[in-house]
A and B are shown apart, each in its own frame.
Chain A
């Protein structure tokens, strides 16, 4: 099992460490050829405007969009969530799309308002999950195909549509790898299903 982390800018090191704890091989994806043999891809937190520009400039857009369209497992945290949204409120920045959600950037406020908080996420077990929100985006609206996985302050902060997983918080900044385990399980399921074909 090999998982890629999009390595253009942002919290790459932390995702690599979390994935290694989950016992999978990790590849840092900087160039499009590197996407060919990864069983899943994480788009990390960072600055979404910067990541978008680098995707465009270094000709990664089509390859990434195709990867998502094929239904391969993709997990976006924070800026990664923004990149995977169909629509970003009040912004013309470049995004990849793929998930039927509308996102508001910096929705909790500026860095001063950033926070961490325990969330109960039954799909990850009984133990609360420490969610770290940093200038975090929110999911303001989502289509029927989207399953809401987590709320915070009555807002949607994690969701899944098919093989696309997103969270507006940063599991990679904690020692709790349950979110990454969940994604790795998605990738394993995908691999099993497609091995049969």
Chain B
């Protein structure tokens, strides 16, 4: 029997958002070398984020942080069979064109890098490759989806090993969604105007009771308990940036965070999972950061 094929379409929103749907319940890990990528894959990561420096090092080094060297991204793509993501600066659509040409599976338009445009984000709908973007609240998430983002993550405060900002952001998004669900239809336009979000997406969120795309946690997750906390608060999965390879036993910690993301609601198992992992990454108190060092303020 032979199927007759017609109407082939690549890069539809369904195909782009679909990859993120396949990542749900999983952990995406920042890696800087092919060896780290293999450790992540072995631990059970659903994808890796290829970058030259993890956020903690970007924070420590200062200066302008840019897209990684394409050669380094390609070497990581060769090292693993799971999807590979990479970061571009906010608004830097040429960095995105370059990463798309490499065949990267997902692009993160990320506040971890130094923004290239302080006014406009990338028109992500133009690309075949899907994008993930950070958000601190419902309006910001829906603006990014309006521009074509196929996946959202909390911004948190990257490179701090402090989960407090990620918690603030997911609580904000979830509480705004609950409020929207109780908002009568005649008030929706004003709701959309107040949060600065596209009206049709506000309607979608009210109907679905969640974002129309997958929503991961990011920005400060350092322990299995942090991952489980974000899952219990309603995230679909976890990004761990500096938390794994800045800890003193990356293999064990990566493994444990994957397990905790699955069994996030089983405290007895979480206790088992959290045993003997060594030191977590050193943490930063958010109030010690200067205003200009707060990465979450980048983008709008």
Contacts and interface: CB of A to CB of B under 8 A. Distances in A.
Contacts of A91: 81
Nearest to A150: B3
**B interface, how many residues as a size bin?**
35 or more
Contact of A115 (B2, B9, B103, B129): B9
A56 B260 CA distance: 15
Contact of A114 (B15, B44, B100, B258): B15
A63 interface: no
Nearest to B82: A47
Interface stretch (B21-29, B61-69, B179-187, B221-229): B21-29
B5 A152 contact: yes
A16 to B, nearest CB: 12
Contacts of A117: 5-9
B25 A8 contact: yes
A47 B262 contact: no
Nearest to B85: A111
Given A134-B22, A135-B19, A173-B18, A49 B5 contact: no
Contacts of A105: 81
A14 interface: yes
A98 interface: no
A174 B49 CA distance: 28
Given A105-B81, A112-B103, A132-B15, A118 B262 contact: no
B100 to A, nearest CB: 7
Contacts of B103: 109-110, 112
A58 B259 CA distance: 9
Interface stretch (A33-41, A65-73, A119-127, A138-146): A119-127
Contacts of A152: 3, 5
The 5 closest A-B pairs by CB, nearest first: A111-B105, A9-B25, A119-B3, A53-B44, A47-B46
24 contacts: A8-B25, A9-B24, A10-B21, A11-B21, A12-B24, A13-B21, A46-B22, A46-B25, A47-B23, A49-B82, A50-B44, A58-B262, A79-B22, A91-B81, A105-B81, A110-B105, A111-B83, A113-B10, A114-B18, A116-B14, A118-B6, A119-B3, A120-B4, A135-B83
